[in-house]
Copies of this chain bind each other. A is one copy, B any other.
Amino acid sequence: MHTLPRDGLALSSLDEQLLLPGTKGLPITEPLRQGAVGVQGWNVLRGDTSFPVAVLKTSALQHNLAWMQAFCARHGVTLAPHGKTTMSPQLFAAQLANGAWGITLASATQVQVAHRFNVRRVLLANQLVARADIAAVLALLHADPDFECFVLADSLEGVALLAAARASHALARPLPVLVELGLHGKRAGCRSPEQALAVARAVAAAEGLALAGFEGYEGLLVSQDRDADLRAVRAFLAELVDLVETADAEGLFGAAEILLSAGGSSYFDLVARGFAGIDGLSRPVRAVLRSGCYLTSDHGSYQRLLAQLDAREAHADGLRPALEVWSSVQSRPEPGLAILTMGKRDASYDETLPAPLFMHRPGSAANAPSVLPPGCEIVKMNDQHAYLRLPEGAIRAALQVGDLVGCGISHPCTTFDKWPVLLAVDDAYHVTQALNTFF
């Protein structure tokens, strides 16, 4: 068997790897050392890359990293951003360098990827139930005594699976478990505080497990009645706080501090406020936000929800969209229709279709892209094609085969997972770096 270094790989190992021809977005005909991407002089607007190409605007990423660090400092909350959004070691490192306490993840294999790249603390915000997956997490904790990983349970059966695996394992320390509180009619999680307490008691009683806190996910509360959503979010957070106080009074916690975690990317301001000011417990309480999409924001569903958050926070300068997918016009078969070299394999389509923002003609004198006029809309995507509907007007004559179109996306998670390599660009679309994802 080959072994990996116990304390993970430095990011420089990614710079040393060879990117191969056939990597989406890269205009290479021979293998290229990844660290050399930034010195190739590629510019997206000049048409130097392969198309489609996914780009991350560095200025927006930096703004969002600083914005969130300031937000957490202002509210006294801890950030463990959801890494499933990007699964990018370079972006994990940027988040950790900008104040994140750990990385939240969704599966055992994601935990293995993060550990490989030297993430030292993980919140696995899913029930861990499959035998090989429990074994994988225990193996990491055993091989690397300084690595921390918190897991969830929401049932006595789940606790029993964890306890049985733990009992037959040589791991010297307890496995820290958060109990998940859920919402009626929604996803996982106990449906009442009583059920959650019963699970918490089972965790506390199990040999080799330690109750480390409670967790919930309020982000599913999105309906047409936004006032009702906000009331429901606040009530859910209050229930979580009550649970922590009750469990502490019962002496169920078994770690140095109590974790209390919630917070998708739509309501983390409410979470920060809802978790503020808990004191008088047996040990410190750490309020952990898990937003993943703050890093890139988007041009769709999160942009709308974050605008509401900005209004609540009275922020003039909120999170900025950082992720775009650029493709070529490959066909102009009808006056009102352009077909782009981009499809379901390249951009999200689960919330809304991509938002066409810009056009640019490679070789033109313009050093910035033109903003597309209102009415331009992606109306459909196939696997490898997008249908861009063009309104009446000058755009119909202006947009030619070979032109480039830049699209914003809605729901960054389902775009990141389509790109093994994304390209970081400056505001002039010069390519500065390659960023990897591991899905």
Residues of A with Cβ closer than 8 Å to B?
1-4, 18, 20-27, 29-32, 47-51, 84, 106-113, 116, 126-127, 129-133, 135-136, 139-140, 154-155, 157-158, 161, 180, 182, 184-185, 187-191, 328-334, 339, 341, 344-345, 349-350, 362, 382-385, 387, 400-402, 413-414, 417-418, 420, 438-439
Q: A187 contacts which of B329, B339, B350 (Cβ < 8 Å)?
A: B339
What's the nearest-Cβ distance from chain B to residue A180, in Å?
A: 8
A154, A157, A187, A189: most-surrounded residue (chain B CB, <10 A): A187
Inter-chain contact A109/B24, CB cutoff 8 Å: yes
What's the nearest-Cβ distance from chain B to residue A74, in Å?
A: 29
Q: Show 13 residue pairs from A and B whose CB-CB distance is below 8 angstroms, ordered by the A residue.
A: A22-B116, A24-B439, A25-B109, A29-B112, A50-B109, A50-B130, A51-B133, A127-B339, A157-B400, A157-B401, A158-B401, A187-B331, A188-B339
Is chain A's binding surface mostly helix, strand, loop or mixed? loop
Q: Please name the residue on chain B nearest to A380 by beta carbon.
A: B187
Inter-chain contact A18/B31, CB cutoff 8 Å: no
Inter-chain contact A47/B331, CB cutoff 8 Å: no
Q: A131 contacts which of B47, B182, B189 (Cβ < 8 Å)?
A: B47
What's the nearest-Cβ distance from chain B to residue A150, in Å?
A: 16
Inter-chain contact A110/B331, CB cutoff 8 Å: no
What's the nearest-Cβ distance from chain B to residue A215, in Å?
A: 13
Q: Which residues of B contact A328 (CB under 8 A)?
A: 129-130, 133
Q: Which residues of B contact A331 (CB under 8 A)?
A: 127, 154-155, 158, 180, 182, 187-189
A3, A116, A136: most-surrounded residue (chain B CB, <10 A): A136
The 4 lowest CB-CB distance pairs between A and B, nearest first, are: A27-B132, A22-B112, A188-B331, A22-B113
Q: Please name the residue on chain B nearest to A117 by beta carbon.
A: B22
A140 to B30, CA, bound (A): 10
Known: A30-B3, A31-B4, A384-B84. A341 touches B136 (CB 8 A): no
Inter-chain contact A189/B30, CB cutoff 8 Å: no
Q: Please name the residue on chain B nearest to A331 by beta carbon.
A: B188
A306 to B68, CA, bound (A): 51
Q: Which residues of B contact A158 (CB under 8 A)?
A: 330-331, 401-402
Known: A187-B339, A384-B106. A136 touches B27 (CB 8 A): yes
Inter-chain contact A188/B22, CB cutoff 8 Å: no
Inter-chain contact A127/B187, CB cutoff 8 Å: no
Known: A155-B401, A189-B331, A401-B157. A2 touches B31 (CB 8 A): yes
A198 to B292, CA, bound (A): 51
Q: A127 contacts which of B111, B401, B414 (Cβ < 8 Å)?
A: B401
Q: Which residues of B contact A110 (CB under 8 A)?
A: 22
Q: Which residues of B contact A31 (CB under 8 A)?
A: 1-4
Inter-chain contact B341/A126, CB cutoff 8 Å: yes
A328 to B2, CA, bound (A): 29
Q: Which residues of B contact A139 (CB under 8 A)?
A: 29
What's the nearest-Cβ distance from chain B to residue A349, in Å?
A: 7
Inter-chain contact B130/A51, CB cutoff 8 Å: yes
Q: A132 contacts which of B23, B48, B131, B420 (Cβ < 8 Å)?
A: B48
Q: Please name the residue on chain B nearest to A158 by beta carbon.
A: B401
A188 to B188, CA, bound (A): 44
Q: Which residues of B contact A329 (CB under 8 A)?
A: 129
A300 to B71, CA, bound (A): 46
Q: A384 contacts which of B51, B107, B189 (Cβ < 8 Å)?
A: B107
